[in-house]
Structures are given as structure tokens and as C-alpha cells.
Chain A
Amino acid sequence: MRKVLPSSIALALFTASLVTICSPAQAAEVKMIATIERIELKEKSATVTLKDTKSDKHVSVTVNDDLTLDKLRDKRILEGDEIRLKYDDATGVATYFRKTAGC
């Protein structure tokens, strides 16, 4: 006996999966104070892994702006530095990346 999944159900499941996967990304801005754990410099960007000082969660963000990239290249921002960070959690791109102010 040969059974087949009804085409209508398969279509419904396929559509549902598309809706789930491809629903418009909510570009939420995430703010945190985090410590730099790793810096990977590329030609026109950098991937920085940080640890949230509150939750200890790790995040990885992309730094694109030239002024911050300069600081990373010149070692003015280093692993271990504490950063006030804002990034778009949909794209992972940092929109604010500065050492915490003080002194």
C-alpha cells in the first residue's frame, strides 16, 4: 500500500516554515558594557568578541566604522578593555563602540 502526504498539508507546512524563518527581522538595538575577549582584524572590518559584564554572555559584533577600526589597529583598544557597546542584534554590527568613560 502506498501512502502519500496530502499535497495541501505539505504546502501548508512549507509556507509555515518560510514564515517562521523569513519573518521580517526586528532590528533591536542591544546596549551593554562588555569586556573585549578577542579582536579579529580584517581589511575593512573587525570582528570583536566581548563578554557582557552583567550576564557573562558572549557576543560577537562587527566593527565597520573607520575611527574605531583605527583604534583597534593602533592597539588603542585592546583585549581586556571595557567597552560601552551598542549593536544591532539582527546584523551584529556595532553602532557605538567606546571605552567606558572615567577619570
Chain B
Amino acid sequence: MKGVPTTVLTASLLLGLIQPSSLLAADPDLQKKVEALEHELEALKKQVKETDRKMEKVEGKSLGRWLTISGDYRFRYDYMSGDVAPYYQLNPANTQADGSDLFIPVQGQNVKNKALYTNRFGLNLDAKATQNVTVHARLLMYKISGAQDDAALRGSNGQTYFSDRAGIFDGTVGHVPGSSNLAVDQVYATWRNIADQPLWFSIGRRPSTGGSPSHLKENNEKPGNSGVPQLLVDYAFDGMTFGYAPDIDALPGAYLKFCYGRGFENGITTKSGNGLSDTDMAGFNLVPYDTDNLRVEFQYNRGFNIFNTPVMLTGPFQGSAPAVDLGDIDWYGINLLGRIKHVGPGTLNWFISGGLSKTHPNDNTVKVQLQTPIDGFTTTAGLLDTQSGLMWTGAKENKTGNAVYLGCRYDLDGSRTKLGFEYNHGSKNWITFAPASDDMWTSKVGTRGSVYEVYAIQELLVEPISSFKSKAFFRLGYQYYDFDYTGSNNWVGAPTKMADLTAMGAMGPSYGQMLTPLKNASNFYATFEVHF
């Protein structure tokens, strides 16, 4: 092996080092100029560093770094039609002491609204307050054109078809159309990455409305760790969540969260109380697998001290407030959501949800004040015991109901067209807690019977400006409700088969009704929506 001649290498290096110095030494002016340039360069470097520092400071405080604003606007047209079943209406404004006008026979008839217009506006604010702590707020207005209340969702004489549309209450403000008031629909603070672990705690007015899979029909993003299963809960709760999302290779996206919400606040009472308790909801949501292609979700929640009625803010029952606790309800749910890409020219989104409700009633029943007391039926003050409790009438019993909800949406990616179909069915004793759902007649997932829905979404082929997620689209849809039993979305009293509504007993009508029962209902709707 040959070595490198070190003398040659050393000589070359020395020559290279010495030469520039000798040149500069020969020209003092040039040396001065170089020194001046070096000073200028140093000064410039300092200046740039200072500018960078200032820029970083300004960027750090700029709104865009910590605040995100987004929102949505929707105009909606509805054509609503329904067939009232023949029935006997309970008449609290009775005048006859013998009870002869306590029940009024009502003939079957068709009712409709050919043109209901609504405007909905939502504004979202997301603030990164500190490291790991964020605050989210959603302001919401949902107004009926030509009105400042929700009376248009009922009949001309204040006929109420469904309890979740009897009036607006705390859990439905901003979700059932009414006035032009901008309500705080959501506001909550979230503390993430607790102890550097995938743990979070969130508290405030919760995102417990519009749960999965309603995002498909609403053309929204799939919810992440937030939200609720649509079949079980759609109610604006004030509450909290504590969640954990472990990193398990075999279970991507897995998380578990405990949720709690308050449905009614009983206020200050004496030690003996007022016979009521706060109404609360608590449960857990387990998602063992969550990817774009498959999401598996389980939920259990329990409603404690279910009230007979919420505090009604509008409508014929305005001013009504909980008068009695009826018991507790357990709910169990499973939700499978998936996506299959490259099905023909598009993508297929699908879902299957199942739910189970089980009531645990106490002995309490609902009482109605009549105008005229009836001997043997009412108290001397005219208070009528309806003998109806939590999903029972006459004899107290636990009731178990079930429901299934399935559907799909096919997305033609090139033309941004989306076509959807949904079906749900609820059994006789099915009860959910979803009065804030985006349905005009009544929350369809609470139906005791079947609901069919088809819809088409056409997004405008325009580039987003305000954010990557911004879009504008039209939506056309049609819903058909086929009711098997009365009392969809109502937990007071036993459901009655539609065909039995005119049955007579020894004491008169066997199944007098407080609300107007519909045999079927249909709703055609068209919207123009902008998300920004």
C-alpha cells in the first residue's frame, strides 16, 4: 500500500493559507474595505435576527395563531303532510261535571304545511388559550320565516303532534326552529394531554347534539372523539367528559370516555325538598376501533330522575315545569360506521346502529288540572290522575324497547354529488333522548314505527376560500314516517296501537290522548347550505 507524501500536503495547505493574507497586506485600502464589509455583515445579521425575533413575537400574538372562526348558514324549505288517526282527545277545559265532555272524539284527517321556510346560522369560535387548554363556543340561531316562535310546528289550534315539538326547552334551543335569538348552543373548555398522557377533561355546554352518523346526511365532517351516538342522545346537555385514548397497535383510534350531563336543575329547596330531584344523565362511550374505514362504538347511559315535562319556554305548555320524577331509564347502544372506497366511480359510506331502552319507573304518575271537577274521577279541586307513569298506564311495569337505524351514502367524488338512504325502526316501548334532532315533525330516531329517508346533496364545484373545509351545497330530501304506536319521543304513559285509539271501555274511551296522534307523516325538504 502506498502512503501519501506529507510534505506535499503540508506545503499546499500553507500556501493556501498565506496567500490571501499577503494579498491584503499588500493593499491596506482593500483590507479596510473588507473589514468594513465584515462589520456591515455583522450588523445585518443582528438586524435580521432582531426582525425574526419581532416577527415571531407578532406571529405568536396574532389572532390566526390562537383563534379559529368558522360557521354555517342554511336556508331550508319544508313541505309537511300528516294523517291524523281518529282518536279521543282529553279535554282539560271540560265544562260538564258528569264528565261527558272529558273526552272529545276527533275524526281522522290530513294536515299539512305547504311551505315552511327557516334560516339557521351558526358561528364557531375555537381558542387555544394555553398549552393543552382550548375553549370552543358555538352560537346558534334557527328562525322560522314570518314568526318569532315555533308555533308553525304545531296545528292551527295549538294541536301538538309530538312531545319533542310541543315547545322549545333547554335541550332543544337552537335546534328546533323558533326565534331569531342567537343562543349559546355550545361552550366548553378542554384540557388535553393531562400528565403527558392521552387523557382529556372537558366541561361546559356539551357537543351532545348531531351525533354520529348524522354527519353523513348533514354533509359534515366525521366527529372525532367528541359527540354522541345519534340513536341514543341528541340533547344540548350542560356537563362534562373525562376521556382516555390509549395507543394500542391492534386497536387504532381506540378511546373511552365517561360523560355526565344535567337535564334539569331543581333549585333551592327546604330540607324536606319539593318532591323533585335534579335530572341527570351519566354514561360511558367506548370506541375500541376508529379508522376512516371502520368505526365501532358502544354506549351505555342512564337517565336519573326523569321529569314528567321539561321547563317549557314556548308553545301551549309554556310555563310548564317538572312536577314529578317518574323514574330512571337505561340505554345501551352499538354503532358501526364504515367506508368502502372505489365502489364504481365513488365511495360508499354505511352505518348500522342498534339501541335498547329499559325503564325503571317509580310509583309516580302525571296529574292534569281540569277546569271542572268530576265526581269519582278527580279531586275536589279538579286534579285528574291520569294513572300514567314512566312508559306505563294503569299498572306499573318496566318496559324494554329497541331500535335499529341503518343507511348509506354514496359519494360521486368527481361531481361532488352524494346520494343517501336511511331507515330506522323503533319498537312499541322504544324511547330515546333525542328531541334536538334535525327533523321537523319529530325526532325520527324516536319513532315507534318505521321511517324511510332519501336525500341528494350537490356541492357547488367552487374552490374554498375561508378555510379548506368551506363548501356550499344544495340538499333535497324526503322522509316518510309510518307510526305503529302513539307517543313517539314521549316517555309519559303507555304507547297505544294506532288501531286501538277508538276503543271504548266501560267508563268511556280506553285510550284518551293528550297529544294528537299521527298515523303517518311525510316531509319533503330542500336546503341551500354554506359552511365556512
Interface residues of A (CB under 8 A from B): 1-7, 10-11, 33, 53, 67, 70-71, 75-76, 78, 80, 82, 84, 86, 96, 98-103
The minimal Cβ–Cβ distance linking B200 to chain A, given in whole angstroms, is: 4
B210 cross-chain contacts in A, Cβ below 8 A: none
Task: Say yes or no: A103 contacts B4, CB within 8 Å.
Answer: no
Task: Say yes or no: A5 contacts B245, CB within 8 Å.
Answer: no
CB closest chain-A residue, reference B64: A80
Task: Say yes or no: A75 contacts B468, CB within 8 Å.
Answer: yes
A78 cross-chain contacts in B, Cβ below 8 A: 468
19 pairs across A/B with beta carbons < 8 Å? A2-B5, A3-B7, A5-B4, A5-B6, A7-B1, A10-B1, A53-B131, A67-B293, A70-B292, A78-B468, A80-B65, A96-B247, A101-B192, A101-B198, A101-B225, A102-B192, A102-B200, A102-B225, A103-B207
Given A76-B221, A99-B224, A102-B202, 17 more contacts at CB 8 Å?
A1-B7, A5-B3, A7-B1, A11-B1, A33-B193, A33-B196, A53-B131, A67-B291, A80-B65, A98-B253, A101-B198, A102-B226, A102-B243, A103-B188, A103-B190, A103-B225, A103-B243
Q: Binding site of B, secondary structure by majority: helix, strand, loop or mixed?
A: loop
B469 cross-chain contacts in A, Cβ below 8 A: 75
A73–B358 Cα distance when bound, in Å, is: 44
Q: Is B342 an interface residue (CB 8 A)?
A: no
Interface residues of B (CB under 8 A from A): 1-7, 65, 131, 134, 136, 188, 190-193, 196, 198, 200, 202, 207, 221, 224-226, 241, 243, 245, 247, 252-253, 255, 291-293, 468-469
The minimal Cβ–Cβ distance linking A81 to chain B, given in whole angstroms, is: 11
A68–B338 Cα distance when bound, in Å, is: 16
A53–B241 Cα distance when bound, in Å, is: 24
Which of B225, B247, B252 contacts A86 (CB under 8 A)?
Answer: B247
A11–B1 Cα distance when bound, in Å, is: 10
A82–B291 Cα distance when bound, in Å, is: 18
A6 in contact with B3 given A53-B131, A103-B188 (CB within 8 Å): yes
Which of B1, B6, B190 contacts A102 (CB under 8 A)?
Answer: B190
B190 cross-chain contacts in A, Cβ below 8 A: 102-103
Task: Say yes or no: A103 contacts B6, CB within 8 Å.
Answer: no
A71 cross-chain contacts in B, Cβ below 8 A: 292
The minimal Cβ–Cβ distance linking A83 to chain B, given in whole angstroms, is: 11
The minimal Cβ–Cβ distance linking B147 to chain A, given in whole angstroms, is: 34
Question: Nearest 10 pairs between A and B by C-beta?
Answer: A4-B3, A75-B468, A101-B245, A103-B226, A7-B1, A102-B200, A102-B192, A102-B190, A101-B225, A3-B6
